[in-house]
Structure 1
Amino acid sequence: MSSTQDLVENQIRKAQERGEFNNLEGSGKPISLEENPFEPPELR
């Protein structure tokens, strides 16, 4: 792994240990594929 990748992986691991990814909005719910968030609103 590169040093940049190691740094990012370390930051993610520390955030997980602190519980920063717990209880995120939408956690455990299916992802809606009805809308493409990257499509301009006028084309939806």
Structure 2
Amino acid sequence: GKIGSEWEAEGSTVLHYIQLFSKFANLPKSAILSHIPVIILDQYKKIK
């Protein structure tokens, strides 16, 4: 149903970000942290 597909979409989004962060793993922590607000804002816009 609708809720199931939303959970699926959310799960794939989380997976996507985990993959992104694994790419950032060789960068300084500050470089990774600077991306977090962007990701949170992006998710917030999708929810709204």
TM-score between both structures, scaled by the size of structure 1: 0.41
Larger Rg: 1
Higher relative helix content: 2
